[in-house]
C-alpha cells in the first residue's frame, strides 16, 4: 500500500534552517509528482511547492520563493523539503502529499506530518 | 491568488441529518479543479472529492460535490458519527493552489 513516512519533530531557533524528509513506498516513485503543504495551528493547509520525480524540477509558491528548496533522491525514493531563515510564523506541521498520476494538483495520499516548531 | 471562503465556520448538526458546506472562490476556478478534504482531530487530511464531483476511492456515496464557476458545495446526505470533522476545499486550477479556512462540523 502507498506509504509516505516523514522525519520527526524539529525544534529550531529563528534564523535557522530545517530539512524534512518523506520516504515513499508502495507505488512507482517516478509516476507521481510530490507536493509539500504546511498547516499552522488552527489554520487551513497552505501549499508550498511541487517537485517532479523525473529530472527533479521544482515549482514554488511565490511567498516561499528563495526560502524553500525541494529535492528528491531516486535511489532511496525519498523527497526532501529545505526551509531556510525560519521565523516564528513558520511553526506548523509540514506534509508531503502525493499528486495522483496524470491528474491535476490535488492530493490523494499524505505523509503523517512533521511538526516544525520554534525553540523560543 | 484565488481566495477560498468557506461557510459556515462551524456547523452543528446531529447524526442522520443532512450537511451542506459552501466554498466560494474570489474568482472563477479554472475548469473543474476543485477538491474537498476531511480532517479528523490529530489526523492528516483525507481526499473526499476531486474535479468538483468525483468521489475518491473508498469514499461513501453519502458524500457528494457540486458547483461551478466560483461557488461549490459539499453535501453529506446522512451524517454518521465519524463524519464530524473539519472540511477543507482546495482549488488546483491556478498556482498557488489554495485551500479554504475550513468548516468544522460538530455534533
| Contact residues, chain B, for A101 at CB < 8 Å | none
| Contact residues, chain B, for A115 at CB < 8 Å | none
User: Bridge-partner residues for A6, per DSSP?
Assistant: A22
pLDDT score of B49: 97
Mean pLDDT by 10 residues, chain A (120 residues): 96 95 96 96 95 95 95 96 95 96 90 92
Gap from B8 CA to chain A (nearest CA, Å) = 14
For strand A58-60 and strand A46-51, is the pairing parallel, antiparallel, or unpaired?
antiparallel
Interface with B, mutate which of A22, A33, A35, A45 (most B CBs under 10 A): A45
Q: By CB neighbour count within 10 A (0-12 exposed, 13-18 middle, 19+ buried), where does B103 fall?
A: buried
| Contact residues, chain B, for A34 at CB < 8 Å | none
Q: Is A29 helix (H, G, I), strand (E, B) or coil?
A: helix
What are B43-75's pLDDT values in tens digits? Answer: 999 999 999 999 999 999 999 999 999 999 999
What are B2-52's pLDDT values in tens digits? Answer: 999 999 999 999 999 999 999 999 999 998 999 999 999 989 999 999 999
pLDDT score of A23: 98
What are B85-105's pLDDT values in tens digits? Answer: 999 999 999 999 999 999 999
Question: Which residues of A lie closer than 8 Å to B, measured between beta carbons?
Answer: 35, 43-47, 59, 61-63, 95, 97, 100, 103-108, 110-113
pLDDT score of A120: 72
Q: CA-CA distance, B102 to A42, in Å (whole number)? A: 10
Hey, how many other C-beta atoms are within 10 angstroms of the C-beta on B101?
Answer: 17
Amino acid at each position: 500500500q502507498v506509504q509516505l513516512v516523514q522525519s520527526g519533530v524539529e525544534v529550531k531557533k529563528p534564523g535557522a534552517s530545517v530539512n524534512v524528509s518523506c520516504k515513499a513506498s508502495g507505488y512507482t516513485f517516478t509516476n507521481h509528482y510530490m507536493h509539500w503543504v504546511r498547516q499552522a495551528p488552527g489554520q487551513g493547509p497552505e501549499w508550498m511547492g511541487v517537485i517532479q520525480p523525473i529530472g527533479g524540477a521544482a515549482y514554488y509558491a511565490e511567498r516561499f520563493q528563495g526560502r524553500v528548496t525541494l529535492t528528491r533522491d531516486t535511489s532511496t525514493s525519498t523527497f526532501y523539503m529545505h526551509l531556510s531563515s525560519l521565523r516564528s510564523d513558520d511553526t506548523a506541521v509540514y506534509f508531503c502529499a502525493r499528486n495522483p498520476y496524470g491528474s491535476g494538483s490535488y492530493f490523494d495520499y499524505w505523509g503523517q506530518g512533521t511538526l516544525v516548531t520554534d525553540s523560543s | 491568488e484565488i481566495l477560498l471562503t468557506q461557510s459556515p465556520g462551524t456547523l452543528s448538526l446531529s447524526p442522520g441529518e443532512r450537511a451542506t458546506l459552501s466554498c466560494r472562490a474570489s474568482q472563477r476556478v479554472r475548469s473543474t479543479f476543485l477538491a474537498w478534504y476531511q480532517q479528523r482531530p490529530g489526523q492528516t487530511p483525507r481526499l473526499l472529492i476531486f474535479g468538483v464531483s468525483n468521489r475518491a476511492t473508498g469514499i461513501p456515496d453519502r458524500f457528494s460535490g457540486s458547483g461551478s464557476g466560483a461557488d461549490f458545495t459539499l453535501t453529506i446526505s446522512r451524517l454518521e458519527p465519524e463524519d464530524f470533522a473539519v472540511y477543507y476545499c482546495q482549488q488546483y486550477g491556478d498556482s498557488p493552489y489554495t485551500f479554504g479556512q475550513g468548516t468544522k462540523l460538530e455534533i
